[in-house]
Amino acid sequence: MSAASAPARPRVGLFATCLVDLIRPSVGFAAANLIEQAGCEVVVPPQTCCGQPAFNNGDRATARDLALQAIDAFQGVDYVVAPSGSCAGQLKKHVPELFAGEPDLSRRADAFAAKVFELVTFLVDVRGMTSVQARFDGVVTYHDSCAGLRELGVKAQPRKLLESVQGLTIAEMKDPDVCCGFGGTFAVKYGEISDAIVAKKADNVVAAGAGTLLAGDLGCLMNMAGKLQREGRPVRVRHVAEVLAGMGEEPAIGEPTRGE
Partner 1 sequence: MTAHFTSPAFKENAHQALHDPALQRALGNVESGFIAKRRKAADKLPEFEALRDSARDIKNHTLAHLDLYLEAYEAKVTAAGGHVHFAPTAEDASKIVTDICRRVGARTVAKGKSMISEEIELNAHLEAAGVKPIETDLGEYIIQLRGERPSHIVAPVIHLNRDQIESDFRRVHSDLPAERDLHAPESLLAEARGVLRKRFLEADVGITGANFLVAETGTSIIVTNEGNGDLSQTLPRVHIVLASIEKLVPTLEDASQMLRVLARSATGQEISVYTTFSTGPRRAGDVDGPEEYHVVLLDNGRSAMLAGEFREMLRCIRCAACMNHCPVYHAVGGHAYGWVYPGPMGSVLSPSLIGVDKAGHLPNASTFCGRCESVCPVRIPLPKLMRHWREREFERHLSPATVRSGLRLWGFFARRPRLYRLATRTAMGALALLGRRKGRFRSLPLAGGWTATRDFAAPEGSTFQAQWAARKDRA
- Our finding on whether 41 is near partner 1 (CB under 8 A) is no
- Note whether 227 and 191 are within 8 A (CB): no
**What amino acid is encoded at 165 in this protein?**
V
Sequence-ordered strand ranges (E) for 143-206: 166-170
In the complex, what is the shortest distance from the CB of residue 134 to partner 1, in angstroms, rounded to a whole number? Answer: 20
The single-letter code of the amino acid at 213 is L
What would you report as the CA-atom Rg of the chain, rounded to the nearest whole angstrom? 18
Q: Is 203 in the site for partner 1 (CB under 8 A)?
A: no
Residue 73 CB, nearest distance to partner 1 (Å)? 8
How many residues of this chain interact with partner 1, rule: CB under 8 A? 72
Q: Among 12, 20, 38, 129, which residue interacts with partner 1 (rule: CB under 8 A)?
A: 20
Contacts of 110-113 with C-beta under 8 Å, sequence gap 24+, read: 111/2, 112/70, 112/71, 112/74, 112/80
Footprint of partner 1 on 90-129 (CB under 8 A):
none
Report if residue 58 touches partner 1, rule: CB under 8 A: yes
**254 part of the interface to partner 1, by CB under 8 A:** yes
Measured from the CB atom, the residue of 162 and 202 that comes closer to partner 1 is: 202
Cβ closer to partner 1: 47 or 141? 47
* Site for partner 1, residues 162 to 201, rule: CB under 8 A: 177-179, 181-198, 200
- Say if CB 238 and CB 232 are below 8 A apart: no
Segment near partner 1 (CB under 8 A); pick from 52-60, 125-133, 154-162, 239-247 = 52-60
User: Among 243, 219, 213, which Cα is nearest to 33's?
Assistant: 243
Residue 5: CB minimum distance to partner 1, A: 28
Shortest distance, CB of residue 157 to partner 1, whole angstroms?
Answer: 18
Check residue 232 and give left, alpha or beta (phi > 0: left; psi -120 to 50: alpha). Answer: left
CA distance 191 to 182: 9
Of 150, 155, 159, 160, the one binding partner 1 (CB under 8 A) is 150
